[in-house]
Amino acid sequence: MRIMVGVLCLLLAIPTLADAAQEFEKVGTIGGQFLKIGVGARATAMGSAFVSVADDATAIYWNPAGIARVYKNVVNVNHTSWLADISFTQAAYVFHVGFLPGTFAVNARSLYMDSQPVRTVFRPEGEGTSFDAGDVAFGVTYARSLTDKFSAGISMNYVQSTLADYEASAYTFDFGTLYDTGYRSLRIGMSMQNLGTRMEFIDDSVKMPATFRVGMSMSVYEDASHRILSAAEFSHPPDNNERANWGVEYGFKEFFFARAGYLFQYDLERFAAGLGFKVPSSLNSEATVDYSYQDMSDLDAVHRVSIDFRF
């Protein structure tokens, strides 16, 4: 009897073990990993649960449909102090063309580090020369509100990775939708990121990190001075387990903001937090400065700063 029970348990465990093995085999098989780094201090402070919020210039990354809800021209700059002295910077410009419907945007992202010495077996301290390594992406976005409740957007990106004298490139596409349900302020967002061509690097061909995101957000409390926004999100990366994100934002008179969030099923990321301030810079323009802190378990924390100028 015990033998039969043991065999039955083993048979029931085989599918789980097979799934785990399949997920493990996917690790390290996807290129363009920098495309998975979250953009913007506001979004990352909310635990990266932003696909259904997506109401500022960083929507270019989280959900292209969101820029249809940006009603002014915006210049946005984000800088991230990433791990191992690596930096990640993104800049975007959201604008409107008077005779055309919808909203347009252009953006550039770069992952970079200081030049590194060329080392060999016989000269481990360096041979007197250096090399560069990094990644860049340039993109254009278009979004439009098709009804008073529904908007859709699309981005096209050129991606390039460089290591010393070697380089590789690919093209990717992002799609997104936003839907206001009409029930209080409940909003549902969905996006598909990094769908595109394979990247040929030296002798290897790799896919881009195509990621599916879906989430919802709602103002759980709001009066003349205070607002609390809560958001939750589910994502499915191509090389790891499904993930979940949750975040909250407190706003005081649309001037001061405090944010916090938690990331579930991530390898390193756990909780995040941040602050933001919005101030008028002239009669028709305003500026926002945001900061976020992201815990990375045993590694150094990641810090982000964003500046948003609307006019």
Domain containing 10: what range? 1-30
Tell me the pLDDT band of 120, cut-offs 50, 70 and 90: confident
Q: What is the average pLDDT across 22-36?
A: 73
| Residue whose tokens read 């500022």 | 56
Q: Which residues pair with 253 in a beta bridge?
A: none
Domain count, the chain: 2
21 and 60 together in one domain: no
22 and 157 together in one domain: no
CA dihedral 122, 124, 130, 131 (to 10 degrees): 100
183 and 197 together in one domain: yes
Query: Rounded CA gap, 45 and 66, in Å?
Result: 18
13 and 43 together in one domain: no
Query: Rounded CA gap, 308 and 302, in Å?
Result: 20
13 and 138 together in one domain: no
Do the Cβ atoms of 30 and 239 come closer than 8 Å? yes
53 and 7 together in one domain: no
124 and 19 together in one domain: no
Tens-place pLDDT, residues 204-256: 888 999 999 999 999 999 999 999 999 999 999 988 889 999 999 999 998 99
97 and 128 together in one domain: yes
Q: What is the pLDDT of residue 11?
A: 32
- Listed in order, strand segments (DSSP E) in 113-203 are 116-117, 130-131, 133-145, 150-163, 166-180, 187-196, 199-201
Q: Is the pLDDT of residue 17 over 50?
A: no
180 and 295 together in one domain: yes
9 and 158 together in one domain: no
Q: Residue 184: left (phi > 0), alpha (psi -120 to 50), or beta?
A: left
Q: What is the average pLDDT across 87-98?
A: 96
Q: What is the pLDDT of residue 298?
A: 87
24 and 40 together in one domain: no
Entry pTM: 0.86
Q: What is the pLDDT of residue 128?
A: 80
Helix, strand or coil for residue 35? helix
Please enumerate in sequence order all residues whose Cβ is within 8 A of that of 242, keeping only pairs 6 or more positions apart, or say none: 234, 235, 236, 265
In angstroms and rounded to an integer, the radius of gyration of the C-alpha atoms of the chain is 22
24 and 39 together in one domain: no
Specify the CATH number for the domain of residue 115: 2.40.160.60
Q: What is the pLDDT of residue 16?
A: 40
